[in-house]
């Protein structure tokens, strides 16, 4: 504010000086020179102060590089695969909502909450910090993979085959912390606080990291090994483990699974899952009491990932005795199947018996028949 006040004051003095010069007809050179000197000094001072704030100190730069290169972290949100990662600006993570759902449905998730990842690359750019996890979204090649050595017409690459391998495609992602104009002078703890929406540096296990990424009600239920209507599959597994038994059924057009936990003479829980959501929780007590909950108990606002196990609803073809490639019977103009014309039987050769054949048949008759 002081700099802006000084600039305004200097501009006013220049206008007064110009007016004096125009009105008096005499050039006030000493006064103009002094005012120009003040303006230049103030501009240089403001530029110097701006440059000072824009520069990251060498000590903090080295601390950031040593801390975040090859650092292990736990994930707090879903990262999509592909060349579009996450960005953090003013504490807000983007993309989110529907855009993140589309990226996850198209490319699939790179990591999900609770997973352990490694920061494989950390870069400081003009106005951002770049963090790559699990190798990043683009496959890198070494310099020696571009060299080919050959003898007698047979060549090869010293570092191995450089052709793209579909099995070893990169599955990593990245996140960038973006600032307004430049990277300010920040400490390691300040940067970790900025990365808290996506990375967890303090958790000791995957369960701890996952519990920090769910709503408080879900967190308390997981700690107590309870299942709430509205949870997803991953929450149920963190709460009660993988189900010992699964039953897949179909209710009309809806496919569902019943996850069964426990065996008599203990309480038995039947968790009904449709897609990626729990819609029904049934508990059979040892005393014979049955408790059924279908009312939604928790709302999840996170992105939903397309399930690969969902089947396509295709019409089932009726069984047929036709061979592969054989055409179906033609359809009559009235809409029914045309009746094939009746087949006229071909008369076969008629057998004629002569006298010898009659005598032979008579010889085969029994004596009683002959009488």
- Kindly state whether residues 262 and 136 are assigned to the same domain: no
- Kindly state whether residues 183 and 124 are assigned to the same domain: yes
The HSE-up count of residue 274 (CA atoms within 13 Å, CB side) is 12
- Kindly state whether residues 93 and 46 are assigned to the same domain: no
Residue 154 lies in a domain: no
- Kindly state whether residues 12 and 129 are assigned to the same domain: no
Residue 313 lies in a domain: no
| DSSP 3-state of 30 | helix
Q: Per-residue confidence of the chain (371 residues) as pLDDT tens digits? A: 444 555 555 555 555 544 544 444 444 456 666 666 667 666 655 554 444 455 788 888 899 998 898 888 999 888 998 888 999 998 899 988 888 888 888 888 888 888 888 998 899 988 899 999 988 887 666 666 667 777 776 766 665 555 554 444 567 899 999 998 888 888 999 999 999 989 988 877 778 888 888 888 998 999 899 999 999 898 999 899 899 999 999 888 889 999 999 888 889 999 999 988 999 999 998 888 899 999 999 887 654 333 333 333 445 456 677 766 677 666 555 555 555 556 565 555 554 545 554 444 455 555 554 44
- Kindly state whether residues 175 and 199 are assigned to the same domain: yes
- Kindly state whether residues 6 and 125 are assigned to the same domain: no
- Kindly state whether residues 171 and 242 are assigned to the same domain: no
- Kindly state whether residues 191 and 258 are assigned to the same domain: no
Angle between helical axes of 216-223 and 233-240 (0-180°, round to 10): 40
- Kindly state whether residues 176 and 276 are assigned to the same domain: no
**Nearest Cα residue to 11 out of 45, 38, 29:** 38
Residue 212 lies in a domain: no
DSSP codes joined into one string, 337-361? BPPPPPPPPPP-PPP---HHHHHHH
Q: Tell me which residue range forms the domain holding 280.
A: 224-293
Task: For residues 90 and 79, give the distance between their C-alpha atoms in angstroms, rounded to a whole number.
Answer: 19
Task: For residues 245 and 69, give the distance between their C-alpha atoms in angstroms, rounded to a whole number.
Answer: 43
Domain end position, chosen among 293, 312, 329: 293
Domain end position, chosen among 53, 68, 94: 53
Structural domain count, the chain: 3
Q: How far is CA 113 from CA 61, 122, 133, 200, in A?
A: 29, 21, 14, 10
- Kindly state whether residues 188 and 249 are assigned to the same domain: no
- Kindly state whether residues 96 and 185 are assigned to the same domain: yes
Phi, psi (deg, nearest 5) at residue 53: -70, -25
- Kindly state whether residues 114 and 8 are assigned to the same domain: no
Q: Round to the nearest angstrom and report the end-to-end CA distance of the chain.
A: 147
Q: Cβ contacts of residue 197 below 8 Å, gap of 6+? A: 76, 77, 88, 91, 93
Residue 337 lies in a domain: no
pTM: 0.53
Angle among Cα 303, 308, 312 to the nearest 5 degrees reads 115
Residue 246 lies in a domain: yes
* Burial annotation 211-237 (CB, 10 A radius, 16+ → b, else e): bbbbeeebbebbeeeebbbbbbbebbe
């Amino acid at each position: 504010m002081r700099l802006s006040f000084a600039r305004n004051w200097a501009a006013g003095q220049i206008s007064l000086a110009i007016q004096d010069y125009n009105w008096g007809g005499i050039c006030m050179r000493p006064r103009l020179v002094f005012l120009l000197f003040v303006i230049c000094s103030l501009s240089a001072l403001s530029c110097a102060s701006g440059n000072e704030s824009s520069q990251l100190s060498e000590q903090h730069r080295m601390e950031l590089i040593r801390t975040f290169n090859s650092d292990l972290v736990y994930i707090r949100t879903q990262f999509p695969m592909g060349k579009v990662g996450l960005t953090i600006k003013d504490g807000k993570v983007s993309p989110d909502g529907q855009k993140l759902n589309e990226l996850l449905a198209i490319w699939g998730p790179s990591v999900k909450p609770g997973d352990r990842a490694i920061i494989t690359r950390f870069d400081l750019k003009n106005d951002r910090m770049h963090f790559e996890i699990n190798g990043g979204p683009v496959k890198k090649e070494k310099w020696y993979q571009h060299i080919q050595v050959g003898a007698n017409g047979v060549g090869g690459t010293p570092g191995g085959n450089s052709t793209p391998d579909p099995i070893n495609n990169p599955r990593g992602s990245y996140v960038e912390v973006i600032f307004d104009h430049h990277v300010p002078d920040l400490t390691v703890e300040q940067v970790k606080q900025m990365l808290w929406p996506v990375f967890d540096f303090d958790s000791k296990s995957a369960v701890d990291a996952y519990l920090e990424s769910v709503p408080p009600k879900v967190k308390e239920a997981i700690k107590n090994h309870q299942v709430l209507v509205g949870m997803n599959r991953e929450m149920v597994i963190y709460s009660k483990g993988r189900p010992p038994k699964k039953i897949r059924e179909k209710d009309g057009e809806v496919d569902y699974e019943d996850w069964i936990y426990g065996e008599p003479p203990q309480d038995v829980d039947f968790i009904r899952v449709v897609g990626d959501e729990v819609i029904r929780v049934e508990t059979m007590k040892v005393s014979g009491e049955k408790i059924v909950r279908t009312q939604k108990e928790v709302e999840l606002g996170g992105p939903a990932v397309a399930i690969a196990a969902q089947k396509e609803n295709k019409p089932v073809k009726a069984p047929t005795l036709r061979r592969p490639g054989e055409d179906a019977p033609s359809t009559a103009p009235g809409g029914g199947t045309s009746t094939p014309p009746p087949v006229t039987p071909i008369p076969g050769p008629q057998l004629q018996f002569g006298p010898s054949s009659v005598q032979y048949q008579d010889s085969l008759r029994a004596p009683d028949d002959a009488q």
